[in-house]
Structure 1
Amino acid sequence: MTPIVQTNDAVTLVGGGHTSPEVIDIALYLAPILVAADSGADTALAAGHLPVAVIGDLDSISDKARAALPPSCLHLISEQDSTDFDKCLRNIKAPLILGVGFLGGRLDHELATLNVLVRRAGRPVILIGASEICFHCPPDLALTLPVGATVSLFPLSDLTAHSSGLRWPLDGIGFAPWGRSGTSNETSAPHVRISVSGAGMLVILSRDHLNEAIRALLPPTAD
């Protein structure tokens, strides 16, 4: 399937949930291609930004936003078996996606987004909220963070993990959404390493560490 948006640049994906112009600007500074998920077009336009594409079932975008955009910008995917966030991830090919407007709104929408984040685990996607970021943990994650920084882990599957550089080590702990989680851990050393046995672990960090999360998720560039 040919992607709707294909770019070598990082993409800012704007959803219709709670966000702010400040958060959108932070994302666009790092990911300059703007795509909207359905009513995320209204959010983007209200912040003064024109999306290159609007993807979704288009049942939430306002008539005002439709009128402000060229018809070629609107990409209707009418099936109702997936969320607009999932429709977007399936149709964007980019090295990184920064999602804004997907955290802090309706709880059911937020949970559905986290579900997709795990199901599309191979995609480098970071969700940016008002004060925190969230992303799916790759098999081996290396971070450089200030000592004492909060590192929260929440499992959406049954898995195990190992760590170094965390105040409370993860080794030997079984994680599951119906069992143990790893919230409110913190760094005991500047270099943190987390390895997981499979897909399903979410990492939650302060928004201050967005650049480090991007560095950790992207493959190293060739010299």
Structure 2
Amino acid sequence: MKSILILCNGNPPSERLFREHYNPADYLIAADGGGNIALNMGIDPDVVIGDLDSFIPDPPHSFEVIRRGDQEANDLEKALRLAREKGGERITILGATGHRLDHTLKNLSVLKQFNKGFEQIRMVDNFGETLLIPRSFRKVMGIGTQVSLFPLSGKVTGITTSGLQYPLSQETLENGVRDGSSNRVVGRPVEITYDKGDLLLFVATR
């Protein structure tokens, strides 16, 4: 099972965005209240997992419901552990942002926690895509696309970019000191390399 979609209980994706990522996915995991969002869109998830404090089932249903009450892990962590058990390689997460800021910050921390366990893991919402990029990253993006670079923890050193309006050359980004917000694609492909740290890339879609 290669492509897994995880639907969380944050700001719901538009139906267009949901269908865009649901249709090619091999498996849909709803993280607790994400199950309500899926059902409201007329889709049965393959499984609902979490402490089930938000999911309101509408029986009868044919999908699996797994209750894991461990309060040391949030529902996204539980969903990602299940995705790993299912052999997922490429993970797309919807509904992980919005609502409470502490939940969004926690989910970004979870992104780092699980990043090395998958070929690709990204968070997508109605405004863009967020992912931790490897030390050598290359992607063709539309000219004019807005992108931002953020150090997820501490500092990221030796950053060099090409294809961006404001290029970096062996530079450092550090929390509370300097970030790389609101840059813009001016060439193809966009290439980003760095030496050390955890570098978060946000690509705006609107």
Same-fold call, TM cutoff 0.5? yes
Question: Given the alignment, which residue of 77, 80, 88 partners 1:89?
Answer: 80
2:146 alignment counterpart: 150
Q: 1: distance between equivalents of 2:60 and 2:200?
A: 37
CA distance in 2, matches of 1:140, 1:13: 26
Unpaired runs of 5+ residues, structure 1, are: 1-6, 209-223
CA distance in 2: counterparts of 1:11 and 1:202, whole angstroms: 21
Which of these residues, 5, 8, 12, is aligned with residue 5 of structure 2? 12
Partner of 1:218: none
User: Segments of 4+ in structure 1 off by > 4 A?
Assistant: none
CA change 1:114–1:26 in 2 (3 A) is same
Confirm or deny that 1:35 pairs with 2:26: no
Residues 62-102 of structure 1 deviation map (CA, whole Å, 9 limit, x = unaligned): 2xx263434x7111222111211111112213121111111
Task: Say whether residues 1:67 and 2:59 are aligned partners.
Answer: yes
**Structure 2-normalised TM-score?**
0.88
Q: 1:121 aligns with which of 108, 115, 120?
A: 115
Question: What is the rounded CA distance, in whole Å, between the counterparts of 1:66 and 1:77 in structure 2?
Answer: 20
Does 1:99 pair with 2:93? yes
Residue 4 of structure 1 is matched in structure 2 by none
Partners of 1:85 and 1:113 within 8 A in 2? yes
The alignment-based identity, stated in percent, is 29
Contact 2:151–2:197 (Cα < 8 Å) also in 1: no
In the TM superposition, residue 180 of structure 1 has moved relative to its aligned partner by 1.0
1:203 aligns with 2:180: no
C-alpha contact (below 8 Å) 1:134/1:202 kept by paired residues: yes
- AA in 2 matched with 1:18: N
Are 2:160 and 1:162 equivalent residues in the alignment?
yes
Alignment partner, residue 173 of structure 2: 175
Q: Give the Cα separation in 2 of the matches to 1:105 and 1:198.
A: 32
Structure-2 change in CA distance of 1:89 and 1:199 (3 Å) = farther
> Residue deviations 1:132-177, cap 9 Å, x none?
1111111211011223321211111211222122221222322122
The count of residues paired between Structure 1 and Structure 2 equals: 198
Aligned partner letter, 1:159: V
| Amino acid paired to 2:78 | K
SS class of match (2:59):
helix
Give the conservation status (yes or no) of the 8 Å contact 1:118–1:199: no
CA distance, structure 1, for counterparts of residue 22 and residue 108 of structure 2 = 22
User: Quick one: distance in 1 between partners of 2:131 and 2:66?
Assistant: 26
- Tell which deviates more after alignment, 129-138 or 197-206: 197-206
**Per-residue displacement from partner, 1:96-142 (whole Å, max 9, x unpaired)?**
11111112332111111111111222231121111211111112110
Secondary structure in 2 aligned to 1:194? strand
CA RMSD of aligned residues (A): 1.8
3-state DSSP of counterpart to 1:91: helix
Structure number having the greater helix percentage: 1
Partners of 1:47 and 1:113 in 2: how far apart? 23
- Paired with 2:178 and 2:6, the residues of 1 have a C-alpha distance of 32
| Alpha carbons 2:145, 2:205 under 8 Å: kept | no
